[in-house]
């Protein structure tokens, strides 16, 4: 028997008939095979064998391991993957949230930033220069590395800023990331920075992947993200990832008192830091660094998309604090967007989840800033006609036509857009584009609402089909499962479209609640998901499991997922925090359908929620079919109560405060942010609901009103004593 013949006979031999020696060989083969298939399935999204065949291999491996437990290999599929594969990455809640940065787009934006910082801090020129650092904004993905007693204990991606993915095993394979820190470092240290891929490494990786018949990555950022988020750390290890340290999260003891000092300390601990970082003391100096980095951009060897400025003094950083999701002490100065010329092949009208008809430019593919672009937004009907948002003629009122040569722009993560049209290159036979007045998906009328206040018609044309419009329904579902909403693994836009096409008795999905009855319906259906093309027993089960993991969900995600007009992520968070539980929110919203109710007034009073949002909510909850679907959904899904941050010990937690008069040691903004950090609400006017007024010199009517109402009034000094800031 030849070697290959004997190998073949091994494969076919029942597990019980294998000798110990044969089992060793067979376990080795199975480890290799399963690894290949895991990689094909998870990494390349291109399985080589059917799920049934895969299951058979896995079962054989397990049976062999059961017979010879001492022969279980370290790289066995049962060790390596198992639960990990089914569940994806574990989640890690950041002990200090990972924030994002506000953007500046011009030199003036930077000057304004510096002005804001100075005003907030009441930073007197006599106090000397305000030091600010400048450094490249690396175009990768941020990573938090937690060290306890000098040992790397976990690594987490940014995720939604509050919770990220546990990618510890993968981070350990990156050479730039130390596994241990030198003696003497603080007990708890969380170093943050950017994982990225250098240009040369990116090119080589893509060449390798292409040679193996695999997919290629569109740009180094995607390659870095795709490589870090591998379920199999071995794959991450084979990818050339790098890391720059530039920030920190929780730290038990600050080793320096400036931004620069911190980053330099990281370097002494073994981290790579960016050598272009510089400490400056004026706008001019900062802009010089910005323009120099911009000039050198192409020769750095890695992608950057701007320059980040940070107030150097950490005490000032602490005082400046945060505004919603970004620090007041830092800003990202973005490089101008990249532009390119290409031909407009077609204008497609897409229907969004709220029925908005959006024109999308189908372009002759063109590379802009390293990414191939073939779609771009054309904004709206007026934009195509050449009319601006205020009714003004755009660039001489040029209309954009199919066949035109257009300028497109791509900036960062935003959707590429059509900026301009080159009239000199317009084909002679071109005709103006006729924007449809009927929905291309359902044929209903599509109208532009007239705003009763301004008398102007809305820029957006909307399909009036509502529930009968399939395009709206599909888009609502896509939104429901999207990353910041239900985020169901394996149920993306493509799958939603597929399930939407199926008959309801064959595993169809029309509304969100249908998603959660899929498993049950599948079990009693004659057309099982696992027997559909492209699906198998494993992938079907995985999807049902993934759906089950989302039966309990954060309240803010749940609210956001509903896709109510004007309720984006930020407003959903505000609402979740204000009401605390689904029950409270739901009752209030049903009551708020009446605009004269107290519930409606309370809703309007939430800081950050304006009349437009309140109106949209009351409309949504006023529609019977929405309530019916919600009640179906709530039989399947339970939104979790909001866990309130612990500000116990704070003397003003939960209280409503009013600052009035001039404050001497604090700017009004800083006072407000201090109070909010202590769990208080700050209001602009005194009412019965006010708990305390902090009055400085020159306080007038508000002070008087407080006295009339018998509200406690304290001075600025008292405020400092109360909050322990003195």
Q: For residue 713, which of 675, 671, 648, 661 has the smallest C-alpha distance?
A: 661
Options 98-106, 178-186, 250-258, 389-397: segment touching ligand IVH (CB under 6 A): 98-106
Tell me 258's DSSP state: B
Among 121, 134, 138, 578, binds ligand IVH (CB under 6 A): 138
Element (H, E) at 493: helix 493-501
Distances (CA, A) of 523 to 151, 239, 491, 603, 636: 48, 41, 19, 43, 17
Options 66-74, 95-103, 419-427, 657-665: segment touching ligand IVH (CB under 6 A): 95-103
Residue closer to ligand IVH, measured from CB, 25 or 225: 225
Shortest distance in whole angstroms from residue 216 CB to ligand IVH? 24
Give me the 474-513 binding string for ligand IVH, x by CB under 6 A, dash otherwise.
----------------------------------------
Residue closer to ligand IVH, measured from CB, 137 or 401: 137
Residue 200: both structure tokens together: 């040369």
Distances (CA, A) of 32 to 27, 274, 411: 9, 40, 43
Considering only residues 249 through 268, tell me which ones interact with ligand IVH, judged by CB under 6 A: none
Q: For residue 665, which of 613, 723, 717 has the smallest C-alpha distance?
A: 717
Options 34-42, 99-107, 234-242, 568-576: segment touching ligand IVH (CB under 6 A): 99-107
Q: Does 312 bind ligand IVH (CB under 6 A)?
A: no
Shortest distance in whole angstroms from residue 327 CB to ligand IVH? 5
Residue closer to ligand IVH, measured from CB, 308 or 439: 308
Which residues, in sequence order, are CB contacts of 362 under 8 Å at separation 6+? 344, 345, 346, 347, 348, 374, 375
Q: Does 685 bind ligand IVH (CB under 6 A)?
A: no
Residue closer to ligand IVH, measured from CB, 137 or 476: 137
Separation of alpha carbons 302 and 676, rounded Å:
40
Among 58, 60, 94, 158, binds ligand IVH (CB under 6 A): 158
Shortest distance in whole angstroms from residue 291 CB to ligand IVH? 17
Shortest distance in whole angstroms from residue 308 CB to ligand IVH? 4
Shortest distance in whole angstroms from residue 227 CB to ligand IVH? 16
Residue closer to ligand IVH, measured from CB, 58 or 328: 328
Q: Does 246 bind ligand IVH (CB under 6 A)?
A: yes
Q: Does 99 bind ligand IVH (CB under 6 A)?
A: yes
Q: Does 101 bind ligand IVH (CB under 6 A)?
A: yes
537-567 burial, b if ≥16 CB within 10 A, otherwise e? bbbbbbbbebbeebeebbbbbbbbbbbbbeb
Shortest distance in whole angstroms from residue 690 CB to ligand IVH? 33
Separation of alpha carbons 726 and 718, rounded Å:
10
Q: Is 466 left (phi over 0), alpha (psi -120 to 50) or beta?
A: left
Among 94, 137, 279, 542, binds ligand IVH (CB under 6 A): 137
Q: Does 23 bind ligand IVH (CB under 6 A)?
A: no
Q: Does 344 bind ligand IVH (CB under 6 A)?
A: no
Element (H, E) at 312: none
Shortest distance in whole angstroms from residue 236 CB to ligand IVH? 18
Q: Does 247 bind ligand IVH (CB under 6 A)?
A: yes
Q: Does 328 bind ligand IVH (CB under 6 A)?
A: no
660-697 burial, b if ≥16 CB within 10 A, otherwise e? bbebeebbebbbbbbbbebbbbbbeebeeebebbbbbe
Contact 403, 296 (CB under 8 A): no
Which residues, in sequence order, are CB contacts of 306 under 8 Å at separation 6+? 103, 136, 137, 332, 333, 334, 335
Catalytic center residues: 137
Among 135, 303, 670, 716, binds ligand IVH (CB under 6 A): 135
Q: Does 142 bind ligand IVH (CB under 6 A)?
A: yes
Q: For residue 505, which of 535, 534, 527 has the smallest C-alpha distance?
A: 527
Taking CB atoms, the residue at the shortest distance from ligand IVH is: 142
Contact 192, 98 (CB under 8 A): yes
Residue 24: both structure tokens together: 């060793």
Name the one residue in this structure whose structure tokens are 């969100």.
512
Give the binding-site size for ligand IVH (rule: CB under 6 A).
15
Which string of DSSP letters, residue by residue, matches 98-154?
Answer: -----EE-SHHHHHHHHHHHHHHHT--GGG----EEEEEEESSEEEEEEEETTEEEE
Options 135-143, 377-385, 464-472, 550-558: segment touching ligand IVH (CB under 6 A): 135-143
Among 9, 66, 93, 100, binds ligand IVH (CB under 6 A): 100
Residues that bind ligand IVH (CB under 6 A): 99-101, 135, 137-138, 142, 158, 194, 246-247, 308, 327, 330, 332
């Amino acid at each position: 028997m030849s070697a290959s013949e004997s190998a073949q006979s091994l494969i076919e031999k029942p597990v019980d008939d294998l000798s110990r020696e044969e089992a060793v060989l067979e376990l080795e083969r199975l480890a290799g095979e399963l690894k290949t298939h895991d990689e094909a399935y998870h990494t390349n999204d291109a399985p080589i064998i059917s799920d049934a065949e895969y299951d058979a291999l896995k079962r054989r491996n397990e049976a062999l391991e059961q017979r010879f437990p001492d022969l279980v290999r370290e790289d066995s599929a049962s060790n390596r993957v198992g639960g990990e594969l089914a569940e994806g990455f574990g989640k890690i809640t950041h002990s200090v949230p990972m924030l994002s940065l506000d953007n500046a787009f011009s030199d003036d934006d930077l000057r304004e930033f510096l002005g804001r910082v100075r005003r907030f801090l009441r930073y007197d020129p006599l106090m000397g220069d305000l030091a600010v650092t400048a450094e490249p904004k690396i175009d990768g993905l941020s990573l938090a590395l937690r060290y306890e007693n000098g040992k790397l204990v976990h690594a987490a991606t940014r995720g939604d800023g509050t919770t990220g993915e546990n990618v510890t095993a993968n981070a350990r394979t990156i050479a730039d990331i130390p596994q241990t820190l030198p003696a003497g470092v603080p007990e708890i240290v969380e170093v943050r920075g950017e994982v990225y891929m250098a240009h040369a490494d990116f090119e080589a990786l893509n060449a390798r992947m292409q040679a193996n018949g695999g997919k290629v990555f569109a740009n180094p950022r995607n390659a870095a993200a795709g490589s870090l988020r591998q379920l199999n750390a071995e794959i991450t290890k084979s990818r050339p990832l790098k890391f720059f340290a530039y920030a920190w999260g929780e730290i038990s003891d600050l080793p320096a008192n400036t931004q620069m000092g911190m980053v330099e300390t990281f370097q002494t601990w073994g981290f790579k830091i960016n050598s272009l970082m510089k400490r400056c003391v004026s706008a001019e100096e900062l802009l010089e660094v910005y323009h120099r980095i911009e000039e050198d951009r192409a020769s750095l060897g890695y992608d950057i998309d701007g320059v980040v400025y940070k107030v150097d003094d950490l005490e000032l950083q602490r005082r400046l604090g945060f505004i919603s999701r970004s620090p007041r002490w830092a800003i990202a100065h973005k490089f101008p967007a990249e532009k390119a010329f290409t031909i407009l092949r077609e204008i497609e009208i897409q229907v969004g989840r709220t029925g908005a008809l959006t024109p999308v430019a189908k372009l002759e593919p063109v590379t802009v800033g390293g990414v191939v672009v073939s779609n771009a937004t054309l904004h709206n009907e007026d934009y195509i006609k050449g009319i601006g948002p205020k009714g003004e003629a755009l660039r001489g009122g040029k209309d954009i036509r199919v066949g035109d040569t257009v300028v497109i722009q791509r900036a960062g993560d935003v959707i590429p857009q059509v900026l301009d049209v080159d009239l000199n290159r317009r084909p002679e036979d071109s005709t103006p584009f006729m924007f449809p007045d009927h929905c291309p998906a359902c044929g209903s009328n599509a109208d532009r609402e007239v705003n009763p206040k301004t008398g102007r018609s809305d820029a957006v044309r909307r399909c009036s089909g509502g529930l009968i419009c399939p395009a709206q329904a599909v888009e609502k579902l896509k939104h429901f499962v999207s990353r910041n909403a239900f985020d169901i693994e394996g149920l993306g836009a493509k799958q939603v479209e597929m399930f939407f096409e199926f008959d309801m008795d064959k595993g169809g999905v029309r509304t969100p609640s249908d998603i959660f009855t899929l498993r049950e319906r599948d079990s009693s259906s004659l057309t099982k998901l696992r027997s559909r093309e492209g699906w198998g027993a494993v992938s079907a089960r995985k999807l049902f499991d993934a759906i089950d993991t989302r039966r309990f969900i954060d309240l803010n995600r749940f609210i956001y997922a509903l896709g109510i007009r004007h309720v984006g992520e930020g407003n959903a968070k505000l609402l979740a925090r204000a009401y605390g539980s689904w029950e409270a929110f739901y009752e209030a919203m049903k009551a708020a359908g009446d605009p004269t109710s107290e519930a409606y007034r309370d809703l309007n009073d939430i800081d950050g929620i304006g009349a437009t949002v309140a109106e949209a909510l009351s409309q949504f909850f006023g529609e019977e079919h929405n309530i019916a679907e919600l009640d179906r959904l709530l039989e399947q899904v339970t939104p979790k109560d909001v866990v309130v941050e612990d500000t116990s010990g704070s003397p003003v937690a939960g209280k409503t405060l009013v600052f009035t008069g001039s404050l001497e040691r604090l700017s009004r903004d800083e006072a407000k942010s201090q109070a909010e950090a202590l769990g208080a609400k700050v209001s602009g006017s005194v009412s019965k609901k006010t708990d305390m007024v902090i009055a400085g010199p020159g306080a007038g009517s508000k002070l008087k009103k407080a006295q009339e109402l018998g509200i406690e009034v304290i001075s600025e000094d008292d405020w400092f004593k109360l909050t322990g800031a003195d």
